[in-house]
Structure formats: C-alpha cells, structure tokens
C-alpha cells in the first residue's frame, strides 16, 4: 500500500498517534469555535511551524494551495457579491460591488478550510496509517472498522501511484497522452486499466486477509510496536479536557 506518510525522526514523528490525534482535534475545534478573525490565521501559523519542525512544511503548503486556493477565490467572489446583509459596507471593484462583510465571511471560511486541510495533511505526513489504526484498535476500535479506515486513508495515494504507473506503461508503448491542463485524451485509455487494477487489488487484499485469519476471534499480534509514556498519556487527558471545555464554553455562549 502507498501512503502519504513522510518518514522522519522529529518530535512529531516520535509522538504516539493518539497524542497527535488529540492535538489535531483540539486545533480543529479551536478553529471553528473560537471567535475572532485572526484565530484561524494564528492557528495556521502554529500548524505551519509544527510542519516546519517535522520537515514537511513545503509539501503540505503546496498541497493546501492547490486544493484550497481555487475554492477560496470562488468563495471571495460569490460571498462578496451574494452576501449583502442589511447595512453592509459596499466595496466597489470595477463593474461589480463587493461587501466588506461578505469578504470577511469568505475569509473565515477559506482560512478554516486551510487549517482543516493543513492539520489533516500534517497528521498523515508524520503518522504512519498503520500505526494510527493499530493505536485505535488497541483502544477498542473493531478491527473491521480499523481496516476500512486504513484503506480509506491510503486509497488516494494507491490510486495515484497506480495511475502514474499505467500512464508510464502506456507512454513506453507509444500511446500518445496529453500533458498539461487538458488531458482528456489521456484519461480515456487510463480508466479501464485503473478500474480493473483496483478490482484485482481488492480481491488480492481479501485473499491476504483470509490467509492471515483476519476475521477469526481472539487477540491478534502485530509487527508494529507503539511506544507510549506517562507524560504523553497525561498530555492526551489534558488535550481532551481542553477540547471538552472549549465545546462546553461555546455551547454556553450560544444558548446562554
């Protein structure tokens, strides 16, 4: 299986997967629950600093820019024009008129998407998917759900690697494939081998699971070993308490 994991020896890489998962959950909750226009920006700066310390900042920033930038541009245009609350401050821009409140709303949504993408990518870059699933199954997650989660995390890298291999094989045999933005002619001959390869891969995985008695009851052994410490366990408790406190405070401010 392919994965988006980037091997390393940084502090983030050495943390227990559940510690990183708890920290990611707290950052995401703070992004959506804490007030203030600067909150998402500050949290993104924190995530970028953590990514830089782990040596994965450049890849995360490139991916976030490719994914979120087109959405952000459309949000600024649509919300700036179609979000005109009463008393909105107009901002003329040539033949169109945007509103200050609409742009602020688009900024908040865009920055929250940026933080969400960056946090998820950072978690996947510094945590091997098998370690994350193994840590969750140790805490009581059913093995079947853990396998589904593992496959879901790795399906995009797997399909990307398979598509790249198919394209290279087709080019080596003289098939003309379009490069650049317009690649419709190259997609058509790619679909068939990609789908067939995915179906064959599913069958091979099912046979491998059955040969290893994956569905048999009883405890299972694992080649992967996770190292936990009392300090990390205490940190996870504090992170979860902070998360619950943040949620409770937000509910109190909304319904009080």
Is residue 123 within 8 Å of 20, Cβ to Cβ?
yes
Query: How confident is residue 181, by pLDDT bands cut at 50, 70 and 90?
Result: very low
Chain Cα centroid distance, residue 255: 31
* Choice among 32-36, 85-89, 123-127 with the minimum mean pLDDT: 85-89
For the cut 60, the answer to whether the pLDDT of residue 179 exceeds it is no
> What is the SS3 assignment for the chain?
CCCCCCCCCCHHHHCCHHHHHHHHHHHHHHHHHCCCCCHHHHHHHHHHHHHHHHCCHHHHHHHHHHHHHHHHHHHHHHHHHHCCCCCCCEEEECCEEEEHHHHHHHHHHHHHHHHHHHHHHHHHHHCCHHHHHHHHHHCCCCHHHHHHHHHHHHHHHHHHHHHHHHHHHHHHCCCCCCCCCCCHHHHHHHHHHHHHHHHHHHHHHHHHHHHCCCCCCCCCCCCCCCCCCHHHHHHHHHHHHHHHHHHHHHHHHHHC
Looking at per-residue confidence, does 211 or 65 come out higher?
65
Task: Give the tens place of pLDDT for each residue, 45-88.
Answer: 999 999 999 999 998 999 898 888 888 888 887 877 776 666 77
pTM (2 decimals)? 0.79
Of residues 110, 111, 106, the one with CA closest to residue 44: 111
Distance CA 14, CA 53 (A): 12
Distance from the first to the final alpha carbon of the chain: 50
What pLDDT score does 178 carry? Answer: 56
Higher pLDDT, residue 183 or 147: 147
């Amino acid at each position: 299986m392919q994965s988006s994991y980037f091997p390393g020896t940084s502090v983030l890489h050495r943390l227990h997967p559940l510690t990183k998962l708890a920290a990611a959950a707290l950052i995401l909750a703070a992004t959506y629950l804490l007030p203030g226009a600067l909150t998402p920006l500050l949290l993104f700066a924190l995530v970028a600093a953590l990514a830089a310390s782990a040596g994965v900042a450049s890849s995360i920033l490139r991916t976030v820019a490719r994914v979120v930038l087109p959405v952000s541009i459309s949000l600024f245009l649509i919300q700036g024009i179609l979000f005109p609350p009463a008393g909105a401050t107009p901002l003329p821009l040539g033949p169109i008129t945007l509103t200050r409140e609409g742009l602020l709303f688009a900024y908040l949504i865009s920055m929250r998407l940026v933080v969400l993408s960056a946090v998820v990518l950072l978690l996947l870059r510094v945590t091997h998917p098998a370690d994350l699933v193994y840590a969750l199954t140790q805490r009581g997650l059913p093995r079947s759900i853990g396998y589904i989660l593992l496959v879901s995390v790795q399906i995009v890298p797997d399909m990307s690697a398979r598509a790249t291999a198919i394209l290279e094989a087709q080019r080596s045999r003289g098939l003309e494939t379009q490069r650049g933005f317009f690649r419709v002619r190259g997609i058509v001959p790619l679909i068939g081998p990609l789908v067939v390869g995915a179906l064959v891969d599913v069958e091979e995985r099912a046979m491998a699971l059955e040969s290893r008695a994956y569905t048999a009851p009883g405890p299972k052994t694992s080649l992967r070993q996770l190292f936990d410490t009392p300090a990390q366990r205490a940190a996870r408790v504090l992170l979860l308490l902070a998360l619950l406190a943040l949620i409770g405070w937000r509910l109190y401010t909304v319904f009080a």
